[in-house]
Amino acid sequence: MDKAEPFAEIDQALLAASSNEVSRRFIAAWLGWRGAARLLPKRADIDIADIKELLDRVILVELGGPDGLRVKVAGSRLRNHIDFEATGKNLAAITPPGDWPLRRWRITEMATRPCAGVSILRDRRRRDGITVEMVTLPLEPDAPGKPPLTLSNIAVCGGVYEPPPKDRPLLWPAVEEFRFLDLGAGVPEKAA
């Protein structure tokens, strides 16, 4: 393998992990920020111009401790789909309690191992309900001692969107499918 491109095969596998064009544009932007020789891009490497058409569907999460996963930014499309503002909230507060240990573990693994993740969520309230794919990629903090971060993109893959009932708890639903993706540092053996 060429020393200038130690991650070339991993990059191709990462791009192939999604057939959704929006997700692939997001992955390509992350790969551009990272460059050919680094494992991760730093937060300062993000060029918003590269994802300007995706900004309404991105989520930036900061890991401030075992239960301190804070949503720093949640795009307006996410707010419209889940029908509440997630920006500024701790993920523990907006995750169904039974799903929290697994969600916390997955996000922590992605941010600290580091590795990527792809999740699928289907709205089962109707047979043709909306299906979304979320690709999550880690970011290196800009300075030592700063918390690690993840940046996710949510892409609609099909189906019909139906607003959530107004009387439901304000929670971010659990995903139905999840898989880790190797960025060069491996993936957890336990792929829960």
* pLDDT tens-digit map of 111-120: 999 999 999 9
- Lowest-confidence pick of 4-8, 14-18, 20-24, 80-84: 4-8
Give the strand pairing for 149-158 and 177-181: unpaired
For residue 192, the model assigns a pLDDT of: 57
**187 located within any domain:** no
Which residues have a Cβ under 8 Å from the Cβ of 174 and sit 6 or more positions away? 95, 96, 99, 102, 103, 121
For residue 3, the model assigns a pLDDT of: 43
**CATH for 28:** 3.30.450.20
Q: Which amino acid is at 86?
A: A
- Give the global pTM: 0.91
**2 located within any domain:** no
Q: What strand order describes the sheet that includes 69-74?
A: 69-74, 58-63, 149-158, 131-139, 116-122, 177-181
**70 located within any domain:** yes
Banded model confidence at residue 59, pLDDT cuts 50, 70, 90: very high
Q: What domain range is 122 assigned to?
A: 8-181
For the segment 150-177, the average pLDDT, to the nearest whole number, is 86
**81 located within any domain:** yes
**1 located within any domain:** no
Q: Is 3 helix (H, G, I), strand (E, B) or coil?
A: coil
**190 located within any domain:** no
Q: Is 135 helix (H, G, I), strand (E, B) or coil?
A: strand
* pLDDT tens-digit map of 69-84: 999 999 988 887 777 8
**188 located within any domain:** no
The encoded tokens of residue 157 equal: 């893959």
SS3 content of the chain, % helix, strand, coil (to 5): 35, 25, 40
Which of 7, 22, 170, 19 lies closest to 90, judged by CA?
A: 170
For the segment 18-38, the average pLDDT, to the nearest whole number, is 94
How many domains are contained in the chain?
1
For residue 159, the model assigns a pLDDT of: 87
